[in-house]
Amino acid sequence: MAEPTLRDTVLRIGEEANAAAVAVAAYDFEHHTAWSLNAARWFHAASTIKVPVLLAVYDAIEQHRFEPHSRVHVRNRFLGLVDGRPFRVGTGSEANAEVHAAVGRMLTVHELAEHMIVTSSNLATNLLLDLVGIEAARASLARLHLGGIDLQRGVEDEVAWEAGINNRVTAAGLCDALRLIEEGKAISAEASQAMLDILHQQRFRSGIPAGLPEDARVAHKTGEISTVAHDAGIVYLNGRDAYVVVILTEWAPEVNGRQETIARISRAVYEYMTGQQQ
């Protein structure tokens, strides 16, 4: 009987976990090969949209609109996309209270970028999006020729969510974004390295990293809400070039085991990339 292919394995993992949908996109710098499953399917981005926001921030820095050390007044008041009414980012949604604790004071652009990625601060994300501007951020993604990423609004804009206006991504779009960063082509080599340094500090490690050997290093960004769980990253293994892997999953709200599923898919991709699975 033939060995299961990576496609077979990933589909089986998704079925066993009762995932509603799974998409994977991967690119291997060692062999310059790509692999994907449902890579063009759109998903609610959740916090993976913070990678495109990071790109937009560093594009604005490259344009000398501000510097990494520029100081930003920390406030918790934003205007909704649909009705223009103010809304706030809830403290309960934050894994790190540091940005909320800084309301009324100043943090630098670099500090906000770290909080946005490393601990996935929604407040830091909205402050940076306000600083850059949604349209300017979308223009940055267009200049980088990044399809498969639909940046529409800040996070926790409930009225926009109720109107069906959401940030969306595809596995292919996030894979292309991470490829640019790893290749040093995301805006500039210096900007790419600065973004990599931040992505390497990611604290949520129960997805892609959990499926890898202990000595693997991962620069990545997670994202999870009630109906989706994602992880997108660049994997560094000893003795070979890196590979990019993006794992997007959709779920019924009551289904558990999401992170374990991403970790299992990560393991399957790792085995495929290192020749342990055909």
SS3 assignment, position 94 = coil
**Residues 178 and 186 sit within 8 Å (Cβ to Cβ):** no
| DSSP string for residues in 119-176 | S--HHHHHHHHHHH-HHHHHHHHHHTT--SEE----TT-HHHHHTT---EE-HHHHHH
In 3D space, the residue among 245, 243, 241 whose CA is nearest the CA of residue 221 turns out to be: 245
Which pLDDT belongs to residue 2? 57
Element (H, E) at 265: helix 258-273
Q: For residues 186 and 193, what is the distance between their CA atoms, to the nearest angstrom?
A: 9
| DSSP string for residues in 200-231 | TT----SSGGGGS-TT-EEEEEEEE-SSEEEE
Cα–Cα–Cα angle for 166, 168, 173, nearest 5°? Answer: 160
The most distant pair of C-alpha atoms in the chain lies apart, rounded to whole Å, by 65
Which pLDDT belongs to residue 261? 98
Which CATH class for the 44-169 domain?
A: alpha beta
- Parse the chain into domains and list their residue ranges: 1-41+171-278, 44-169
Please give the structure tokens belonging to residue 237: 């293994």
**Residues 269 and 245 sit within 8 Å (Cβ to Cβ):** yes
Tens-digit pLDDT profile for the chain (278 aa)? Answer: 557 899 999 999 999 999 999 999 999 999 999 999 999 999 999 999 999 999 999 999 999 999 999 999 999 999 999 988 999 998 877 777 899 999 999 999 999 999 999 999 999 999 999 999 999 999 999 999 999 999 999 999 999 999 999 999 999 999 999 999 999 999 999 999 999 999 999 999 999 999 999 999 999 999 999 999 999 999 999 999 999 999 999 999 999 999 999 999 999 999 999 987 54
Looking at residue 27, its amino acid is Y
Which residues, in sequence order, are CB contacts of 62 under 8 Å at separation 6+? Answer: 187, 188, 191
The Cβ of residue 69 has, within 10 Å, a number of other Cβ atoms equal to: 9
**Residues 199 and 190 sit within 8 Å (Cβ to Cβ):** no
Q: For residues 268 and 147, what is the distance between their CA atoms, to the nearest angstrom?
A: 26
Q: For residues 261 and 73, what is the distance between their CA atoms, to the nearest angstrom?
A: 40
Q: Which fold has domain 1-41+171-278?
A: Beta-lactamase (3.40.710)
Query: pTM (2 decimals)?
Result: 0.95
Equal fold, 1-41+171-278 vs 44-169: yes
**Residues 222 and 247 sit within 8 Å (Cβ to Cβ):** no
SS3 assignment, position 71 = strand
SS3 assignment, position 111 = helix
